[in-house]
Amino acid sequence: MSSSWRFDKQSSSEVQAVADVEVSCESGTMEQPKKIAAIIVAAGRGSRMADDAKNPAGPKQYRRLGGRSVLQRALDAFQRHERVDQCVVVIHPDDMTSYQDSVRPHPKLLEPVIGGKTRQDSVRAGLESLAAYCPSRVLIHDAARPFVDTDLLSGVIDGIGENRAALPAVPIADTIKRSMGGTVIETVERDGLFAAQTPQGFVFDEIVMAHRSANLQDRNDFTDDTALAEWAGMDVALIEGSSANSKITTAEDMKTAQQKLSTIPDIRTGHGYDTHRWAPGDAVWLCGVEIPHTHRLDGHSDADVGLHALTDALLSAIADGDIGSHFPPSDPRWKDARSYRFLAHAAKLVRNAGGTITHVDVTLICEAPKIGPHRDAMRETIATILTIEPARVSVKATTNEAIGFIGRGEGMAALATATVVICDDD
């Protein structure tokens, strides 16, 4: 067998016999794909979930959280992750109906597996069910952590070595006390202390054998799988966990999670308008692109009417004045200035306000020049100035049907909107 199982802490012949049981598919002549499987442990009874008579204790993994079950939310990150091939959920024998009501079918989702008396028994049942699929790596996750994201999964997958486990963890921030009978007996040094999270990642063969060995030795007291892995002599690499990956244990945790999801996103929309007069010339700056033309636009700066309207739209989204208040035409510093500087400054102010620019839209209104051939260059230029993807930048143009000052060729105008999402972490 290919795995490098080590018995640093056990040497009984019984354990050795378990180690000799083949769990790997790699001994065959055919090369197997390096599959990654995930086990979601959802067999808990939620005994600490009771808050009042209307909301008695019960499995929290089947409760709804922002339109989906806690379990479905936990599954979503694994099913979305491109490197995860299969997911299996371990459930309590009484929960088949709840499971079917709260989980959507998915091509990566296998039939649920019935768990055992303890979490450790349930994980082992999940592992044994996966043996037939020959995964090379396995991630083991608690359904009570519905906020796990794909970045954390990537970190755990990358952290698994040839015979090493990966544990996401966060440093302990609170001062830790030990008490006896309600009285503090000591303050525990918190340096080097971490709170363990899930998913925890393993080489599949190694963790299967560790679980079998623990079971044969009647060791059913491990509270997580890396504790069992440490007992079995595996190295466990600590990787950076996420404070968002919190565990729902009590009714209060559930309320906090619901509040987190019910927060209305702070989306702002700003609008801008600008106009400049035509003057004799041979080129015009529009949306950061210089276009040969029979005229130029007249102005204190390069008179880029598109970027001026967009700068105003961004400032408007964070209610921070307008282009004139930040770059007064009376200031000689802005004489003949390139307008990308104004737009870049507005984008910086948006970021400083905790904003993310999610979309911008510019409409140029002129009888000439033709904008179509330059549209993509304008979108690319604005995207570069704002450091966003071109797919989030719209530029379009219209004539004014030969009406009014634009129609008479006296000047041109631009309209812009900017959509900004403010994320205030404080």
- Using CB under 5 A, list all residues that contact Mg ion: 274, 308
Helical segments of 36-82, H only = 70-80
How far is Cα of residue 392 from the mean position of the Cα atoms in its chain?
19
Please report how close the Cβ of residue 251 comes to Mg ion at its closest, in angstroms: 57
What is the pairing mode between strands 64-65 and 68-69?
antiparallel
Please identify, using beta-carbon distances, which residue of 247 and 271 lies nearer to Mg ion: 271
User: Shortest gap between Cβ of 305 and Mg ion (angstroms)?
Assistant: 6
Nearest CB to Mg ion, comparing residues 161 and 281: 281
Contact, 296 vs 280, CB < 8 A? yes
Nearer to Mg ion, 230 or 312 (CB): 312
Residues 6+ apart with CB under 8 A from 291: 283, 284, 285, 369, 374
Q: CB of 256: closest distance to Mg ion in angstroms? A: 48
Return all residues near 23 (Cβ < 8 A) that are at least 6 apart. Answer: 1, 131, 204, 205, 208, 209
E strand spans, 145-265 = 164-171, 176-180, 183-188, 194-196, 200-203, 235-240
Taking the least distance from each CB to Mg ion, the nearer of 118 and 275 is: 275
Rounded to whole angstroms, how far apart are CA atoms 297 and 280? 8
Residue among 268 and 308 whose Cβ is closer to Mg ion: 308
User: 143 near 40, Cβ under 8 Å?
Assistant: yes
CB of 139 to Mg ion, least distance (A): 55
* Closer CB to Mg ion, 226 or 417, in the complex: 417
As a whole number of angstroms, the distance between CA 372 and CA 364 comes to: 11
State the Cα–Cα distance between residues 59 and 73, nearest whole angstrom: 15
166 or 310: CB nearest Mg ion? 310
Q: Of 278, 285, 322, whose CA–CA distance to 302 is shortest?
A: 285
**Least spacing, CB of residue 390 vs Mg ion, in Å:** 24
- Our CB check for Mg ion shows the closer of 296 and 308 to be 308
Q: How far is the CB of 288 from Mg ion (least distance, A)?
A: 14
Shortest distance, position 278 Cβ to Mg ion, whole Å: 14
Nearest to 44 by CA among 198, 152, 195: 198
Min separation Cβ 293 and Mg ion, Å: 17
Angstrom distances, CA of residue 189 to CA of 57, 111, 155, 172, 185: 35, 45, 28, 10, 13
- Indicate the residue among 157 and 323 with the shorter CB distance to Mg ion: 323
Q: How many CB atoms within 10 Å of residue 143? A: 26
Q: Give the shortest CB-341-to-Mg ion separation in angstroms.
A: 13
- When CB distances to Mg ion are compared, the closest residue is 308
Burial class (CB in 10 A: 0-12, 13-18, 19+), 364: buried
